Amino acid sequence: MKYGRLLVLAVALGAGLLAARLVLSSNQPSPEPVTAARENSMSQAKVLVATRDVGLGEKLSSSDLTWADWPESAIPNGAMVQSAQSDALETVTGQIARAPIYDGEPIREQRLVSTDKGYMAAILPKGKRAIAVSVGAETTAGGFILPGDRVDLILTRSDNSSSAISETFMENVRVLAIDETTAGERDEKSLSPQRTATLELSIEQAEIVAQSQQVGKISLALRSAQDSEDDGEGAVTSHGGVNFVKYGVSSQVGTR
């Protein structure tokens, strides 16, 4: 009788364990939705990216571009996807970068310009003008000023006592080019000691710079990168005006 009771108890315990296991397995979520969600989050698309660092003003060639796998959930706005723009590589080739593009960065139309006009006219912001200023090595921080840098403009002129007066009349001006070298070409061309700096200014500021060149010598003072505004809109500031003397009459022109 004792062995019979033990046998019945063992059978009951086994049945209980089996029932508990069935209950636990029925409460666990199905692995299929998790697998499907994981596959969906890892789905990728072909995105057009740069194969090297492209500087401001550089023209894109086919070797600068490639289709790369990119997670669909992380595709940036404006990026060119092969499934939607299969001819994007051919379309982008030959366009000009209006802003730096870095190696591996998706190509976006907002950072490119396609025009039959010159590069300078293409990148010049609306309402701005490009004006050339004659400068030399001694007036361009020893030749260290390069396209894309920001500078202050200093006018040196003679006063009535035949002594020289220097004053900063414009600050934080962007240099568009040195001679015919733009920001996108500055690593490929050598810069001569005697050169012309092309500056980005408003219409009124361009007039003041043109007048200043007639009454004195303009020097460019290089600004620190940490002390410069990257935003061209409203970046140019001034301490005041520039005095001009014509037919013995002194007048001041504001630089605002």
Residues 17-26 pLDDT 10s: 777 677 666 6
| pLDDT for the residue numbered 68 | 94
Nearest to 77 by CA among 101, 107, 55: 107
CATH T-level assignment (fold) for domain 43-117? Type Iii Antifreeze Protein Isoform Hplc 12 (3.90.1210)
Q: pLDDT tens digit string along 164-213?
A: 888 999 999 988 888 765 555 545 444 454 578 889 999 999 999 999 88
Boundaries of every domain in the chain? 43-117, 124-254
| pLDDT for the residue numbered 106 | 95
Cα of 103 vs its chain's centroid, Å: 13
Burial class (CB in 10 A: 0-12, 13-18, 19+), 83: exposed
pLDDT tops 90 at residue 79: yes
Quickly tell me which residue has 């390069």 as its tokens.
146
pLDDT tops 90 at residue 69: yes
pLDDT tops 80 at residue 133: yes
* Spatial distance between the Cα atoms of 40 and 253, rounded to a whole number of angstroms: 65
* Spatial distance between the Cα atoms of 140 and 151, rounded to a whole number of angstroms: 9
Quickly tell me which residue has 């789905």 as its tokens.
43
Nearest to 178 by CA among 220, 233, 227: 220
Percent of the chain exceeding pLDDT 70 equals 66
pLDDT tops 70 at residue 158: yes
pLDDT tops 60 at residue 241: no
Q: How far is CA 120 from CA 99, 184, 225, in A?
A: 13, 11, 23
Lowest mean pLDDT among 72-86, 130-144, 176-190: 176-190
Q: Please report, to the nearest 10 degrees, the dihedral formed by the alpha carbons of residues 87, 89, 94, 95 taken in order.
A: 90
Mean pLDDT of 44-66: 90
Mean pLDDT of 97-111: 89
Mean pLDDT rounded to a whole number for the chain? 76
Residue 97: what are its φ and ψ, rounded to 5°?
-80, 120
